[in-house]
Structure 1
Amino acid sequence: MVYILSDLAGLLRDQGRYEEAELLYRRALGIVYTLNNLAGLLRTQGRYEEAEPLYRRVLAIYETTLGPEHPQTGTCRVNLDAFLSRPR
């Protein structure tokens, strides 16, 4: 869903429909933010096997939509590394 919204926003941007594009980009980011929060909730509950794929998915989405050098992508990568290096 996030990729579809992002791609559609890109098409709107290319057509000069900037306000519509911005709304879709923001909606896509809201979905990713919620997915990240769900992963955090699962982690807090000790449901690590469920949380890990969500964290990885969030990182993949940020890398695709924002790029690997974006600050938010970097923060997400650091958070995933911290999650993976937790005591087990």
Structure 2
Amino acid sequence: VDYARVFGPDHPETLQTRHNHAWNLGRVGEHVEAARLMADVAVDRARVLGPDHPDTLRSRHSHAWNLGQAGEHVEAARLMADVADDRTRVLGPDHPDTLQSRHSHAWNLGRAGEERRS
């Protein structure tokens, strides 16, 4: 199904399909392309759903995660810190998504040579 044609480019199902496509690219090792696409999805989700919507936060996390997997650990850590802060504020400090972002932030700090900060 061509979700963009059927539902429109801003429909939540279209945005979810785009997120899934980028996520699957990351799963098969295409992290640079996945990060690029996920960044676009995150921007569109923030515009359509709002910056604090869990789906927007999920796309932002996935964007940063793919950057880290592509070796861009400094930028991934910076972005992941922002996602972790926003998830803490929106979802709470003990929510599994918040903990996942905090873990990914620490992992990227370590890979960037910032072991003490991780």
TM range (shorter): 0.5 to 0.7
Question: What stretches of structure 1 of length at least 5 have no aligned partner?
Answer: 7-24
Q: TM-score, normalised by structure 2?
A: 0.47
Q: RMSD of aligned C-alpha atoms?
A: 2.6
Count of residues in correspondence between the two structures? 67
Distance (whole Å) between structure 2 residues aligned to residue 43 and residue 32 of structure 1: 17
Distance (whole Å) between structure 2 residues aligned to residue 73 and residue 44 of structure 1: 19
Query: Aligned residues: percent identity?
Result: 26
Q: TM-score, normalised by structure 1?
A: 0.60
What letter corresponds to residue 54 of structure 2 in structure 1? P
Question: What stretches of structure 2 of length at least 5 have no aligned partner?
Answer: 72-118
Query: Relative contact order (alpha carbons < 8 A, sep ≥ 6): 1 or 2 greater?
Result: 1
Superposed CA offset, 1:39-70 (max 9, x none): 11111221223212210111011110011122
Superposed CA offset, 1:8-44 (max 9, x none): xxxxxxxxxxxxxxxxx7xx11111111111111112
Contact 2:34 2:63 in 1 (8 A): no
Q: Which has the higher helix share?
A: 1
**Which residue number in structure 2 is paired with residue 84 of structure 1?**
67
